[in-house]
Amino acid sequence: MDNLPMQLQEWANANQPAKNLIWAPGYWEQIVFVRDRITEALASSFEELKEIMGKIQVISTHTSKSVLLPVFRVELADGTFFILRYNFYNWKVSVSSPRDIEVDFLDLFDPRDEANIKDYYCEGFPKELVYGPYAKNKRQFTIEIYNDFMVFTFFWIFAHQVLGKRSQQKEKVSP
């Protein structure tokens, strides 16, 4: 698409799949999951939630099960950004951070996996945004995660262990 990048909601409204496609309901499920659930995991305040939601872009597309799907870019105020896509089978997530990410991600992904993060498996990703495995570069890496629960957990751990979300929330409720 020549009009990319585009704000997520605008792209989603303009590219709704035909209702007769078996996998059509999965389209909105992943849009809402990224727009609402991932941003909620990352944000430490309502203002930050609105800021992150407002910056979510569709930077590219791919097709799975005959459904045109987005490749998302989620950007944080500190310069960290995530590129992600779901193909109804697995998630691919690229992380680019201004600092090393030294976190125990609890086996949500294989930190040494190079075989499953090739550019041809990261459908729709710009080639320059497919990085190597986490074990080789803690600032820029690409991972494969199998389901929404594990993806949400990845972002929840990132928010709490890297961004310090828990300590920020405690500070806001402390007298």
Query: Please, what is the Cα angle at 113 between 32 and 120, to 5 degrees?
Result: 65
How long a stretch of residues is the chain? 175
State the pLDDT at residue 174.
37
Could you tell me if 113 and 133 are in contact, meaning their C-beta atoms sit under 8 angstroms apart? yes
C-alpha gyration radius of the chain: 16
Domain-located, residue 1: no
pLDDT band at 87 (very low <50, low <70, confident <90, very high): very high
Domains held by the chain: number: 1
pLDDT of residue 166: 57
Dihedral pair phi/psi, residue 149, rounded to 5°: -60, -45
Whole-model pTM: value is 0.92
Q: How far apart are the first and last CA of the chain?
A: 51
Say how far apart CA 139 and CA 93 lie, in whole Å. Answer: 13
Average pLDDT over residues 68-95: 97
| Domain that residue 159 falls in | 6-173
Residue 96 lies in a domain: yes
pLDDT for 24-62, tens place per residue? 999 999 999 999 999 999 998 899 999 999 999 999 999
**What per-residue confidence (pLDDT) applies to 125?**
97
Residue 168 has pLDDT above 70, yes or no: no
DSSP letter assigned to residue 18:
P
**Is pLDDT of 170 > 70?**
no
Mean pLDDT of the residues in the chain: 92
Confidence of residue 165 (pLDDT cuts 50, 70, 90): confident
* 66 falls within a domain: yes
The pLDDT of residue 175 is above 60 = no
Give a yes or no: residue 30 inside a domain: yes
Handedness of CA 20, 21, 23, 25 (dihedral sign): negative
The structure tokens 């045109």 sit at: 68
Residue 172 has pLDDT above 80, yes or no: no
Nearest to 42 by CA among 141, 155, 145: 155
